[in-house]
Amino acid sequence: MAEFTFTDEQTQLRSAVRKFCTENFDEQTVRALMESDPPFDAKVWHRLGSELGVLGLSVPEADGGAGGSLVDQAVAVEELGASLACGPVFGTVFLAIPALVAASAGPVRDELLAELVEGRRTAAFAASATTVALTGDRLSGTVEAMVDAGAADHLLVAAEGPDWVGLFAVDATGPGVERTPLATIDLTRPQATVRFDEAPARLVAGPTDAERVISHALHVGSALLAAEQVGAAQHLLDLAVQYAKGRLQFGRPIGSFQAVKHRLADMLVDLEHARSTAYHAVWALTDGSDDPALAASIAQATCSAAFSRVARDTIQVLGGIGFTWEHQAHLYFKRATADAALLGTAEHHRDRVAALVLDTAVAERAPRIATG
Amino acid sequence: MSNAADADRVSELARQVVTDHDPKAVPIPEFLGACFDAGLSWVHFPEGLGGLGVSRGLQSVADSILQGAGGPVPLALNPMGYGMAAPTVREHAQTDEVKRRLLRPLATTEDIWCQLFSEPGAGSDLAGLATSAVPDGEDWVINGQKVWTSLAHRARWGLLLARTNPDQPKHKGLTYFVLDMHAAGVETRPLRQLTGHAEFNEVYMTDARIPDAYRLGEVGGGWRVAMTTLMNERSALGASGSRRGAGTIADAVSLWASRPDLQTPVLRDRLTQLWLRAEAQRLTSERSRATATVGGPGPEGSIGKLVGAELNQHIYQFCMDFLGPEGILYHSYALREDDREDTDWRGPLQQRFLRSRANTIEGGTSDVMRNILGERVLGLPGDLRADAGMPWKEIPRG
């Protein structure tokens, strides 16, 4: 479909995921899950994969997926983000599955992909090869603060061989793997430091395609993370608007005051911009209509800033209640803070955009400058 | 008929027009007249009125062929005509005869249009305007003063909002007319602005007469008609080029690239933020075009107006800060009436910088735009109004 045009099936998909989230990720459930160990419900995760089929929407049917497009996956992710659905969305859906899709078919890749798409197993992903080294077929080294690693079954890890980089799968519960859970700002998205000590590793992508596979995963991950940021920011804007309509001070709804109204209008503008850049990146990765690296960085630079701003301003509109533990606003504010850092900060992505756009710009038709 | 079949028909007609009337060879009015007769001026209008009765989204199909062959951008030649008058006349003129009589010379740009809304005493509170229209036989007699009227000195027609009943609350006593700018009692004077130039005018109306046939909409229904005009103005003001990096941001990026000696990391990040804002707005316009239906522009167009205006200011402020001391020279404050026929009527960078201060005021201030987004898009309650329900003549003014 043409960019920004959603099919009826995608609209139905959105409703189905929203309904599933209402039933399974209501605020009370999310609060209970985020303080559990592991911090998600494995049975519900399995249902997301097998019953709803939304973990591998853009995975080819031959690989056990739905055979749809990344647009489908983004629509589902937006709804999961709106409810802060607990589970390894980041490690498994944003990064591991796209990496495996991009990797060449083979027994290891095929087996992992089928398990992850079905929701029977979960995975975490580490893209930086600098701290883990390969010796023979074993990995040694440390990955700090790996998202979703604590409860994952598989760890996909980039590692350096003698003169090449590869992507490997390690059994998280196997020998030579030590995981230390970390306390995180965002309780709904856990991290763990993982120490590998001659852990047996299976090759997923070798020297000829590891770099391509990893950068594809990061581009898709950036686009899907942007979709999550949009979904969560929309949820907050709806919440803030509803509150501003109902909360009375000085005998009037606070939303009738221009100071509050204009803040909400600015939040709307940022959200609409975020939605446009997120789905542009998703479409660019679907139909090749734009440079994926540029589109992904435009989306991350815009959506990280937008979600953070909407989260901050939602708390401001809510006033005192927004600062309490009891109100859900802080859960989203913390998600916004984490999301803005996970795949590169807005500043990091702006620097990439500058390298691609400004550093290469040529002076054509510069405006005349008056000289007095 | 399916959208695809309509699109084929539109492309076929556009190709026929450029074959029969090569825009590089024939005068502009002849070419644009041929577009009107083929129904390509505004494809969503009815047949016979410059349209084909198809989805307005297909206008881009026609425009890319017509302008691709070297045809002009009509909105640039007759901005008030194409951007505001055409949709208002089409929707609200009393007879098809009047619509046809006004729309064809508008489309050919033989008749330039202007908009007579704002007054010295009525800016953001437009509905409080004081220009009076009093019936006299088959005519209306107009008295009052309008301001910020661009192109009035070249215009043949003006879109006029006037008060026909001062005893009603302000929104209810207004009626909408088309004023012949050549009529007796209509005087246009240039209005000098802070750039030194006079791109706008003041228009004085002293016992000017308008035949009732040139009333648009009902007597007392002027506000509703004006909303058609304003929604189209805001979406026209907010519409930007669909090519990445086009528009005002191109000025800044070209300037940046032309002066490596002035580049610093701090300025680089600032320009990147502006570029990203422009790109996000461009994509948002694309998205809203992709999801647009046959209906007219909605309040969401206010996002484009709001962002475009503030972005323009920030971009030119960046250019000035980038240039440093070089930027504070000027070319001339000599009074000059802007006829927009120069190679680039926007003038040198410093003039564009000064001119950009108007962006957040003209066509609805950014403060009002945020009210519109808050109230019409988000559904927030309106502010308290001190003049609610009061007859217009009793409202304090000053």
CATH number for the domain that contains residue A57: 1.10.540.10
Is residue A161 in a domain?
A: yes
pLDDT tens digit sequence for A223-278: 999 999 999 999 999 999 999 999 999 999 999 999 999 999 999 999 999 999 99
**Tokens representing residue A130 in the block:** 């600098």
Same domain, A188 and A270: no
Of A99, A118, A137, the residue at which a domain comes to its end is A118
Q: Report if residue B385 sits inside a domain.
A: no
Please list every residue in chain A whose beta carbon sits closer than 8 Å to the beta carbon of residue B334. Answer: none
- Among A118, A137, A170, residue at a domain's last position: A118
Interface check for A356 against chain B (CB to CB < 8 A): the answer is no
Do A99 and A144 share a domain, yes or no? no
Whole-number Å distance between alpha carbons of B62 and A276? 25
Q: How far B154 CA sits from the closest chain A CA (Å)?
A: 27
Straight-line distance from the first to the last Cα atom of chain B, in angstroms, rounded to the nearest whole number: 56
Q: Nearest by CB to B383, which of A256, A272, A357?
A: A256
Domain count, chain A: 3
What digits encode the pLDDT tens for the residues A322-372? Answer: 999 999 999 999 999 999 999 999 999 999 999 999 999 998 888 999 999
Q: Are residues B315 and B237 in the same domain?
A: yes
Do residues A105 and A148 share a domain?
A: no
Cα Dmax for chain A: 76
Give yes or no for a contact between B364 and B208, defined as CB atoms under 8 angstroms apart.
Answer: no
pLDDT band at B180 (very low <50, low <70, confident <90, very high): very high
Q: Look over chain A and give the mean of its residue pLDDT values, rounded to a whole number.
A: 96
In a domain, B393, yes or no: no
Residues of A in contact with B255 (CB under 8 A): 363, 366-367
CA pair distance B236, B309, nearest whole angstrom = 12
Report the distance separating Cα B359 and Cα B238, nearest Å: 11
Confidence class of residue B240 from pLDDT cuts 50, 70 and 90? Answer: very low
Of A245, A275, A371, the CB nearest to B380: A245
Q: B316 and B256: one domain? A: yes
Residue ending a domain, choose from A118, A143, A170: A118
Whether B276 and A280 lie within 8 Å, measured CB to CB: no
Q: Which of B303, B327, B371 sits opposite A261 (nearest CB)?
A: B371
In a shared domain, residues B71 and B141: no
Structure tokens at A16: 């189905």
Judgement on whether residues B182 and B286 belong to the same structural domain of the protein: no
Is residue B350 situated within a structural domain? yes
- Could you tell me the sign of the dihedral formed by the alpha carbons of A235, A239, A242, A245, in that order? negative
**Nearest beta carbon to residue B280 from set A3, A266, A273:** A273
Q: What is the pLDDT of residue A53?
A: 96
pLDDT tens digits, one per residue of B11-47: 999 999 999 999 999 999 999 999 999 999 999 999 9
Query: Is pLDDT at B342 greater than 60 in this prediction?
Result: no
Please check whether residue A63 touches B, CB under 8 A. Answer: no
**How distant is the Cα of A69 from the closest Cα of chain B, in angstroms?**
19
Among A241, A265, A273, select the one facing B284 at the smallest CB separation: A273
Indicate the pTM of the whole model.
0.90
- Output the domain CATH number for residue A325: 1.20.140.10
Mark yes or no for CB contact B286/A276 under 8 Å. yes
User: Which range of residues forms the domain containing residue A167?
Assistant: 123-207
Q: What is the DSSP string of B176-234?
A: EEEEETTSTTEEEEEE--TTS-B-EEEEEEEEEEEEGGGEES-TT-HHHHHHHHHHHHH
Name every residue whose Cβ is closer than 8 Å to that of residue A249 and which is 6 or more positions away in sequence: none
DSSP code, position A366: P
Q: Are residues B99 and B180 in the same domain?
A: no
- Residue A87 within any structural domain of the chain: yes
Tell me the mean pLDDT in the region B355-371: 94
Look at A253 and B380 and tell me if their CB atoms are within 8 Å.
yes
Q: Is B233 a catalytic residue?
A: yes
Query: Which tokens is A119 given?
Result: 């929701």
With an 8 Å Cβ cutoff, are A265 and B378 in contact? Answer: yes
H or E stretch including B393? none
Helix (H, G, I), strand (E, B) or coil at A84: coil
Give the sign of the dihedral formed by CA B144, CA B147, CA B153, CA B156. negative
Q: What is the mean predicted confidence (pLDDT) over B337-358?
A: 81
Report DSSP state, residue B300: T
Taking CA atoms, what residue in A is nearest to B252?
A366
Query: What are the residue ranges of helices labelled H in chain A?
Result: 8-24, 27-34, 42-50, 70-82, 97-102, 107-118, 210-246, 258-287, 292-318, 329-342, 346-357
Six token digits for residue B237: 């003001």
- DSSP, collapsed to helix, strand or coil, labels residue A158 as strand
Report yes or no: B178 and B159 within 8 Å, Cβ to Cβ.
yes
Q: Do the Cβ atoms of A366 and B330 come within 8 Å?
A: no
Residues A51, A112, single domain; the answer is yes
Q: Do A276 and B271 touch (CB under 8 A)?
A: no
Q: Which residues contact A348 (CB under 8 A, 6 or more apart)?
A: none
Are both B232 and B371 inside the same structural domain?
yes
Shared domain check, A269 and A147:
no
Query: Which site among B259, B380, B384, B385 would you substitute to test the A interface, given the most A Cβ atoms closer than 10 Å to its Cβ?
Result: B380
What are the angstrom distances between the C-alpha of B43 and each of A227, B5, B13?
35, 14, 11
Q: Which of A200, A229, A232 is nearest to A296 (CA)?
A: A229
Position B63 in a domain: yes
At B296 the pLDDT is 47
Nearest-5° Cα angle at B331, B329 to B334: 125
Q: How far is B153 from B156, CA to CA, in rounded Å?
A: 9
Domain containing residue A170: CATH number: 2.40.110.10
The helix (run of H) or strand (run of E) holding residue B368 is: helix B366-372
- In a domain, residue A370? The reply is no
- Taking each helix axis from N to C end, the angle separating A258-287 and A210-246, rounded to the nearest 10 degrees, works out to 160
| Interchain pair A364, B254: CB under 8 A | yes
In this prediction, residue B302 carries a pLDDT of 78
pLDDT above 90 covers a percentage of chain A that reads 95
The answer to whether residue A156 scores a pLDDT higher than 90 is yes
Task: Give the residue with greater pLDDT, B234 vs A266.
Answer: A266
Question: What b/e string do you get for A4-38 counting C-beta neighbours within 10 Å, with b at 16 or more?
Answer: bebeeebeebbeebbebbeebbeeebbbebbeeeb
> Using CA atoms, how far apart are residues B245 and B206, in angstroms rounded to an integer?
47
Nearest CA in chain B to A250: B384
Residue A154 inside a domain? The answer is yes
The range of the structural domain enclosing residue B18 comes to 3-78+87-108
A261 closest CB neighbour out of B330, B346, B380: B380
Measure the CA–CA gap between B299 and B301, rounded to whole angstroms.
5
**Farthest-apart Cα atoms in chain B, separation:** 71
Beta strand B157-163 with B113-116: parallel, antiparallel or unpaired? parallel
In this complex, the residue of A3, A256, A350 whose CB is nearest that of residue B382 is A256
Residue B396 lies in a domain: no
Chain A residues whose CB is inside 8 A of the B373 CB are: 265, 268-269
Number of helices and strands (H, E) in chain B?
Answer: 13, 8
Contact status of B281 with chain A (Cβ, < 8 Å): yes
Q: Which of residues 158-197 of B touch A (CB under 8 A)?
A: none
Residue A365 touches partner B, C-beta closer than 8 Å: yes
Average pLDDT of the residues in A200-223: 96
Partner-chain contact A276 B283, CB within 8 Å = yes
Please name the residues between 93 and 112 in chain A that touch chain B, using a CB distance below 8 Å: none
**Within a domain: residue B382?**
no
With respect to residue A366, please indicate whether it lies within any of the assigned structural domains: no
Distance from CA of B63 to the nearest CA of A (A): 19
Return the pLDDT at B289: 78
CB–CB contact A269 B373 (8 Å): yes
Place of tokens 């913390």: A334
- Start-to-end CA distance of chain A, whole Å, equals 54
Reference A215, options A336, A116, A79, A103; nearest CA is A103
Q: What is the pLDDT of residue B336?
A: 75
pLDDT band at residue A162 using 50, 70 and 90 as cut-offs: confident
Residue A364: φ, ψ to 5° = -110, 135
> pLDDT: is B121 or B398 the higher one?
B121
Q: Is residue B54 part of a domain?
A: yes
Classify residue B300: in a domain, yes or no: yes
Residue A211 and residue A105 in contact, taking contact as beta carbons nearer than 8 Å: no
A347 shares a domain with A220: yes
**CA–CA separation, B121 and B126 (whole Å):** 9
The reply to whether A98 falls in a domain is yes
**A170 and A265 inside one domain:** no
DSSP reduced 3-state for B133: strand
Please give the average per-residue pLDDT across B176-182, as a whole number.
98
- pLDDT tier at B293, thresholds 50, 70, 90: very low
Catalytic residue among B187, B233, B310, B362: B233
Comparison of pLDDT for A2 and B349, the residue scoring more: B349
Which chain B residues are within 8 Å of A5, Cβ to Cβ?
A: 290-291
Q: What 3-state class would DSSP assign to B153?
A: coil
For A59-83, the DSSP string reads S-GGGTS----HHHHHHHHHHHHHT
Question: Is residue A2 in a domain?
Answer: no
The answer to whether B317 faces chain A, any CB pair under 8 Å, is no
| pLDDT in the model for residue B229 | 79
Residue type, B245: G
In this structure, the answer to whether residues B170 and B240 fall within a common structural domain is no
Beta-ladder partners of B204: B145, B187
Whether B232 and B201 map to the same domain: the answer is no
Residue of A nearest to B248 (CA): A367
| Statement to judge: residues A19 and A128 lie in one domain | no
Task: Specify whether the CB–CB gap between A216 and A98 falls below 8 A.
Answer: yes
A350 in B contact zone (CB under 8 Å): yes
pLDDT attached to residue B234: 55
B75 near B151, Cβ under 8 Å? no
State whether A361 and B253 contact (CB < 8 Å): yes
Model pLDDT, residue A130: 80
Looking at the structure, do residues A165 and A189 belong to the same domain, yes or no? yes
The tokens for B139 are 């005519």
Tokens of A25: 């990720």
The Cα B225–Cα B91 span in angstroms is 8
What are the chain A neighbours of B330 within 8 Å (beta carbons)? 370, 372
CA torsion through residues A158, A190, A285, A302, sign: negative
Assess whether A97 and A148 both reside in one domain. Answer: no
Least confident of A282-291, B183-192, B341-350: B341-350
Residue B50: its pLDDT value, please?
A: 96
Quick check: B257 and A362 CB within 8 A?
yes
CB contact under 8 A, A277 and B283: yes
- pLDDT band at A135, cuts 50/70/90? very high
CB-CB under 8 Å, A354 with B272: yes
* Total number of domains constituting chain B: 3
**Confidence class for position B235, pLDDT limits 50, 70, 90:** low
Interchain pair B374, A347: CB under 8 A: no
CA atoms within 13 A on the CB side of B333: 7
pLDDT of B340: 53
Minimum-distance CB partner of B290 among A3, A257, A365: A3
Residues A195 and A243 in one domain: no
Q: Does B261 touch chain A (CB under 8 A)?
A: no
Nearest chain B residue (CA) to A353: B272
ipTM: 0.96
Q: Same domain for B233 and B300? A: yes
Judge if B98 and B124 occupy the same domain: no
Interchain pair A4, B269: CB under 8 A: no
CA B16 to chain centre: 30
Give dist(CA B108, CA B368) in Å, integer.
34
Same domain, B117 and B216: yes
Q: Do A245 and A337 fall within a single domain?
A: yes
B257 to chain A, closest Cα gap in Å: 5
Residue B24: helix, strand or coil by DSSP?
coil
What average pLDDT does chain B have?
Answer: 91
User: CATH no. for residue B60?
Assistant: 1.10.540
Q: To the nearest whole percent, how much of chain B has pLDDT over 70?
A: 93
- Which of A253, A265, A350 is opposite residue B276, by nearest beta carbon? A350
For chain A, say whether B46 makes contact (Cβ under 8 Å). Answer: no
On whether the CB atoms of residues A256 and B380 are closer than 8 A, the answer is: yes
CATH number, domain containing residue B158: 2.40.110.10
Residue B59 has pLDDT above 60, yes or no: yes
Those of residues 227-246 in B touching chain A at CB distance below 8 A are: 245
Q: Backbone dihedral region of A112: left (phi > 0), alpha (psi from -120 to 50 degrees) or beta?
A: alpha
Q: Indicate whether B251 and B349 sit together in one domain.
A: yes
Contact A371 B329 (CB under 8 A): yes
pLDDT category at B295 given cuts 50, 70, 90 is very low
